Structure 1
Amino acid sequence: MDLQRFLCRRVALLLLLMPCGLQCMSVHILSEQPVYVIPGSSLVLKARVEQTPQEEISVVTWEREPESGVAPGKETLATCPGRSFKCAGTRPNVHVNMQAQESSLLINKFSSADTGVYAVTVTNQKGAETTGHCIVRMYEEVHQVSLSINVSHSSLVCGEAWGTDPHFSWLHERVAITQTVGTVSKDGTTLSVTMTPFCGHFTCMVSNKLGYSSATYTAAPCETEGRGTTAAVVCLVVLLLLVGGVLAFLLWRRQRHNNRGVRLHEHLDDAI
């Protein structure tokens, strides 16, 4: 019993010595990570603060530092005294708003210099701090689309260098892929060709919010049904022209022969 009382007193003493006991305030940024921002647009980050009734927000600070951790190091974007809810941004394009349990950061005309790891730190009235982080990157357009063939598996593989959130789509002879041509993988990067023969033009298009790019693989020309029909029509027309020409020639010869017989009969009558 003495040992149990001793341990209980030790635990109680440790809890009292902790800055905020078992119930500390916490803060987290309400965004999926990483956040991608289109150049020239606005970055908006919102942070939610959770606290106990006994705690008060003393200061909220927004900071940014490079994702790689190299110089120039950490930069303070804004500082907000908790009671007044008035925030002072360090740059003209930086704006921070404070509400009861929420803080929002707005950066206008986002550029590559604004990328990095963003941190929001909340300090309570006892000086205890809690921090939430978020990675922010530049939204990149699609670059360097490539198309390769796997002959053994009758498949085409499409790749893209470093574009943000790329979406893949396929065309065969400038028409969307159907089941008669093949099947596309779930991520859209691979086309398994089932049509026989393996022929025609296969195009992979990669797109995102900033545009698209494409690459084309050219196989042997396809002997399509349409081309066969066209050839048959041409042959039929040529045959009809030949038959018509022969008939016209025969009619011309017959008419010429009749005309010679008439002229000969008239000449005999004149002689008599």
Structure 2
Amino acid sequence: MELQIVHFIRTVLLIQICLLWSGQCLSLHFTNQQPIYVIKGHSLILQVQLDLQDGERVAKVTWDYKANNSAKILTVAEFPGRVSNGRVTVDQQGSTLKIRDYHPADSGIYTVTVTNQSGQRRSEQQVVQEYLAVNHVSVMVNVSHCTLHCMEAWGTEPTFTWLHEQAAVTEEVGRVSADGTSLYISSSCCGHFTCVVSNKLGHSSGTYTAEPCERKNKATTAVVVCSLLMLLLVTSLVFLLWRRHRYQSNRRERLIEPYEDTL
């Protein structure tokens, strides 16, 4: 956000200065100010926005490329003019550069230079990197605070998800940090805690194993056993009372003689 504000202020000042000097001013900026990440085999598309004044027109557009850790600058495309190879095309009067079948060697810094009919030149740069899969996920624990930290090696745009005993972490188990990398455990620190890191290319995971949650399991088993014993005891008591009631009823019936009904 701060970079966008600085870029906007710089553009406004540049326009004002140019208008005072010559009545014309060439301004341009990339539609995406952040570094661009491209998946291997996909297409890289760079687009620059041109802000032309009345009567101003573009005479030439040049796209240059410098690989990471290299001082050599190569011209990728010119408009009007040529392109470096069959994978490269330019559209929209040179304001859009497209490279098909992107591979890691295409990563680096791309510079677009625009020249107007008065010979004024303006340049802007865009950083391009390969979109990488997540790798080497690990979980570290802070025992004193019962906090787990998830780390990932170099994946692009990683997202973090926590599981406890293969189920999603609930508020009863713990609280996840805003960026998802940390889990603050609020219940007993036991069982298996798994951190799953994912992005567009897949996912990877790491697990921290604490002491088994035996106490909870034992307590649950004890409750079940006690409940069964209580149910058995009540059933036996009801059966005994029923038998006693039936015995007493039969005994009263036998005490009444048949001839007493005829009196």
Q: Over residues 69-116 of structure 1, what are the superposed CA-to-partner deviations in whole Å (9 max), with x where a residue is unaligned?
A: x15x111111113xxxxx5322100010124xx711111000011011
- Over 3 Å counting, the alpha-carbon distance change for 1:19 and 1:66 in structure 2 is farther
Which residue of structure 2 aligns with residue 78 of structure 1? 77
Which residue of structure 1 aligns with residue 191 of structure 2? 200
Counterparts of residues 126-137 of structure 1 (less than 5 Å): 126-137=118-129
Residue type of the alignment partner of 1:116 = G
Which residue of structure 2 aligns with residue 41 of structure 1? 42
Residue type of the alignment partner of 1:158 = C
Question: Which of residues 199, 211, 217 is equivalent to 1:220?
Answer: 211
Where in structure 1 are there 5+ consecutive unaligned residues?
1-14, 82-86, 241-272
Query: How high is the TM-score relative to the length of structure 1?
Result: 0.71
Mapped partners of 1:208, 1:149: distance in 2: 24
Instruction: Give 1 or 2 for the bigger CA radius of gyration.
Output: 1
Aligned length: 213
Mapped partners of 2:33, 2:170: distance in 1: 35
The answer as to 2:58 corresponding to 1:67 is no
Which residue of structure 2 aligns with residue 184 of structure 1? 176
Residue type of the alignment partner of 2:190 = C
Judge which range, 167-176 or 47-56, deviates more.
Answer: 47-56
Mapped partners of 2:49, 2:104: distance in 1: 26
Shift of 1:28: 1.2
Shift of 1:152: 1.5
Mapped partners of 2:125, 2:33: distance in 1: 11
Contact 2:43 / 2:101 at 8 angstroms: preserved in 1?
yes
Q: Over residues 191-220 of structure 1, what are the superposed CA-to-partner deviations in whole Å (9 max), with x where a residue is unaligned?
A: 000103x21100011111111111111111
Query: How high is the TM-score relative to the length of structure 2?
Result: 0.74
Identity of aligned residues (%): 46
- Over 3 Å counting, the alpha-carbon distance change for 1:235 and 1:50 in structure 2 is closer
Mapped partners of 2:87, 2:148: distance in 1: 47
The answer as to 2:201 corresponding to 1:210 is yes
Shift of 1:24: 1.4
Mapped partners of 1:227, 1:40: distance in 2: 54
Contact 1:164 / 1:208 at 8 angstroms: preserved in 2?
yes
Mapped partners of 1:53, 1:32: distance in 2: 26
Q: Describe the SS at the equivalent of 1:33.
A: coil
Counterparts of residues 142-153 of structure 1 (less than 5 Å): 142-153=134-145
Mapped partners of 1:94, 1:20: distance in 2: 37
Q: What is the root-mean-square deviation in Å for CA atoms of aligned residues?
A: 2.6
Contact 1:41 / 1:109 at 8 angstroms: preserved in 2?
yes
Mapped partners of 1:48, 1:166: distance in 2: 30
- Over 3 Å counting, the alpha-carbon distance change for 1:225 and 1:219 in structure 2 is closer
Shift of 1:141: 0.6
Shift of 1:32: 3.6
Question: Where in structure 1 do 4 or more consecutive aligned residues deviate above 2 Å?
Answer: 18-23, 223-237
- Over 3 Å counting, the alpha-carbon distance change for 1:199 and 1:22 in structure 2 is farther
- Over 3 Å counting, the alpha-carbon distance change for 1:156 and 1:20 in structure 2 is same
Contact 2:24 / 2:56 at 8 angstroms: preserved in 1?
no
Mapped partners of 2:184, 2:97: distance in 1: 46
Q: Describe the SS at the equivalent of 2:214.
A: coil
Residue type of the alignment partner of 2:142 = N
Which residue of structure 1 aligns with residue 160 of structure 2? 168
Which residue of structure 2 aligns with residue 10 of structure 1? none
Where in structure 2 are there 5+ consecutive unaligned residues?
1-16, 233-263
Mapped partners of 1:35, 1:117: distance in 2: 10
- Over 3 Å counting, the alpha-carbon distance change for 1:152 and 1:226 in structure 2 is closer
Mapped partners of 2:54, 2:190: distance in 1: 71
Residue type of the alignment partner of 1:108 = R
- Over 3 Å counting, the alpha-carbon distance change for 1:30 and 1:55 in structure 2 is same
Mapped partners of 2:55, 2:21: distance in 1: 10
Mapped partners of 2:128, 2:226: distance in 1: 64
